[in-house]
Amino acid sequence: MKRSARFEQQPPFARANCFACQGRNRSEWCQLDSADLALLDSNKVTSRYEAGQELFRQGDPCPGVYIIERGTVAERRDDAQGNSAVIRLRHAGESLGYRDYFAGDVCSNSAVAVAECTICFIPRQAVQALLERNPALGLRFLTRLAADLKSTEDTILHNTALSMRKRLVHLLLSLKDHYGEMTDEGILRLELPLARQEIASLLGSRPETVARTIHALEEDGIAVFAGRAVLISDLDKLLDELEADTEP
Amino acid sequence: MKRSARFEQQPPFARANCFACQGRNRSEWCQLDSADLALLDSNKVTSRYEAGQELFRQGDPCPGVYIIERGTVAERRDDAQGNSAVIRLRHAGESLGYRDYFAGDVCSNSAVAVAECTICFIPRQAVQALLERNPALGLRFLTRLAADLKSTEDTILHNTALSMRKRLVHLLLSLKDHYGEMTDEGILRLELPLARQEIASLLGSRPETVARTIHALEEDGIAVFAGRAVLISDLDKLLDELEADTEP
DNA sequence: CGGGGGTTTGAGTCCGTTCAAAATACGTGG
DNA sequence: CCACGTATTTTGAACGGACTCAAACCCCCG
């Protein structure tokens, strides 16, 4: 139980309260007035999660809505036969759990912190109160869900139409914004928040295949992998991977 | 242009107007009062679509919302490389196109009638007017989108974790409610609304593989296929197919 | 009766999987 | 700080499901 350590986290970032929260203006919660914000602030619970820690589990009654301040969360779904897949990743600034709040009683997937996270939790009563006070908030979530649906449909086409290699490249590219930095030498450096296993699950594959695909990428001079660090000297080569039609 | 033929379709079903519409009470539109219904009724356009006819195309500006009175529509998505997949099927009673209405400006997939359909179209201006008059309607769509998202996530797990055979069986089962009937001999008879090609696309596969899987199902005495007709004498056998763990 | 699209069948191949073992990274306690 | 046990990752070899290509077949429609 490291929960008591969460206040140590706050000082360097100065987001002890919702009013000062930097992420808010780019999120669903950007249109709250100060009375709403006060309500949000007094009801939210900010916690720190270690990598691997679970926020909620598929089948649990939906506890409320989460907002990721820092870190990345994986949404995972399991079926009755024991199969499992990571459906998507959610990064800092994104909310989480609203789908289950609106869809029904229980969580239809599990959420696990893949890196160390700082996350605000808003109990469902508070969410409900906010929605009642501020109809625009509901509309924001309507738009949010529509966008989620769109990108989830993309994933379907993605997984069936693209090779492992392309899917992996696509993942690297999608992590660039949150986990990439340019070195002085002009080399893009990614620090992956995911284990190989999680990468495999996210891409609908196996760890062995991911390892092999990574190996192939290295042999072709596309990227260099060292544990979770990825070095990409020529971003265009990565982009070209996606362009190339497999069939001549 | 068979549009002019649409009124011939109405008499046998007596749903010339929204007030009398049978499907309404089980849809998003069930909570409209009579003033709203009048608005809906005067703005809707009811049309008949032949199999293969397109309602809207990916990339088009979102025209409004459709309601399927009769028939089935496939939502298809294409990518830049020319890949394509049927994302889902929508049956009688379901609405269509609302995701694009809420998400943004253009349609993110195409919609094609897979069987002969009767479909009501509500222009986006009318949708907007209804939403403004009736906040509960927006809430219904919020719930609807959340449910769509849930089932689309299921599809992802489905496609990666299940064999072709299981996916095909699952599809048959899901078509049972809309396209199945019990014969006098107690045999379940399905009349598939889909061509093999469409089945393949929906299952993330190819027509050849679908043909082979169908063949295998017949050899194992699970079902008998004759064109688009499917005869299933023992439903439990179908259900067992899904239960069975592939690995011992 | 002769196209023409859709479907089925056949043969061969490939991508990704499975199973198994070796190598590496990781955390823990001495 | 190092040694050890465990978990993860990588590599290897063999298998297999689904794909590709190609031809034959079928059915519908003109």
Output the CA angle B212-B113-B217, nearest 5 degrees: 20
Which chain B residue is nearest to residue A201, measuring alpha carbons? B160
Q: What confidence score (pLDDT) does residue A1 get?
A: 36
Q: What is the mean pLDDT of residues B163-176?
A: 96
User: Is some CB atom of chain A closer than 8 A to the CB atom of B99?
Assistant: yes
Output helix, strand, coil percentages for chain A, rounded to the nearest 5: 45, 25, 30
A132 neighbors B139 (Cβ within 8 angstroms): no
Distance CA A73, CA A70 (A): 10
Cβ of B159 and A157 within 8 Å? no
Cβ of A161 and B103 within 8 Å? no
- DSSP annotation of B119 reads E
- What tokens appear for B36 in the block? 């709203």
**Chain B residues inside the 8 Å CB shell of A136:** none
Phi, psi of B160 (to 5 degrees): -90, -30
Q: What is the mean pLDDT of chain B?
A: 88
User: Is some CB atom of chain A closer than 8 A to the CB atom of B90?
Assistant: no
Q: What confidence score (pLDDT) does residue B129 get?
A: 93
From the list B201, B179, B177, the residue with the least C-alpha distance to B192 is B179
Distance CA A53, CA A58 (A): 14
Phi, psi of A62 (to 5 degrees): -65, 115
Q: What confidence score (pLDDT) does residue A6 get?
A: 36
Phi, psi of B229 (to 5 degrees): -90, 140
Q: What confidence score (pLDDT) does residue B28 get?
A: 84
Q: What confidence score (pLDDT) does residue A13 get?
A: 43
Distance in Å, alpha carbon of B170 to nearest chain A alpha carbon: 14
> Could you tell me the pTM of the whole model?
0.89
Is B159 near strand C, with its CB below 7 A from some atom of it? no
Is B211 near strand C, with its CB below 7 A from some atom of it? yes
Tens digit of pLDDT per residue, chain A (248 long)?
333 333 334 344 445 687 877 777 778 888 788 888 888 888 999 999 989 999 999 999 999 999 999 999 999 999 998 899 999 999 999 999 999 999 988 999 999 999 889 999 999 999 999 999 888 899 999 999 999 999 999 999 999 999 999 999 999 999 999 999 999 888 999 999 999 999 999 999 999 999 999 999 999 999 999 999 999 999 999 999 998 665 43
List the B35 CA – C2 C1' distance (angstroms): 59
pLDDT in tens, A207-239: 999 999 999 999 999 999 999 999 999 999 999
List the B208 CA – D16 C1' distance (angstroms): 17
**Chain A residues inside the 8 Å CB shell of B162:** 83
Distance CA B40, CA B34 (A): 10
Q: What confidence score (pLDDT) does residue B37 get?
A: 86
Q: Roughly how many angstroms between the first and final C-alpha of chain B, as a whole number?
A: 56
Q: Is the pLDDT of residue B63 over 70?
A: yes
- In percent, the amount of chain B with pLDDT more than 70 equals 92
Q: Is the pLDDT of residue B202 over 70?
A: yes
Banded model confidence at residue B2, pLDDT cuts 50, 70, 90: very low
Minimal Cβ distance to B99: which of A77, A146, A154: A146
Residues 167-226 of A with CB under 7 A from strand C: 204-206, 208-209, 212-213
**Chain B residues inside the 8 Å CB shell of A152:** 149, 152-153, 156
Q: Which of B79, B132, B133, B149 to mutate to test the interface with A (most CBs of A within 10 A)?
A: B149
Q: Is the pLDDT of residue B193 over 50?
A: yes
B221 — alpha (psi -120 to 50), left (phi > 0) or beta?
Answer: left
pLDDT in tens, B8-59: 343 444 446 878 777 777 788 887 888 888 888 889 999 999 999 999 999 9
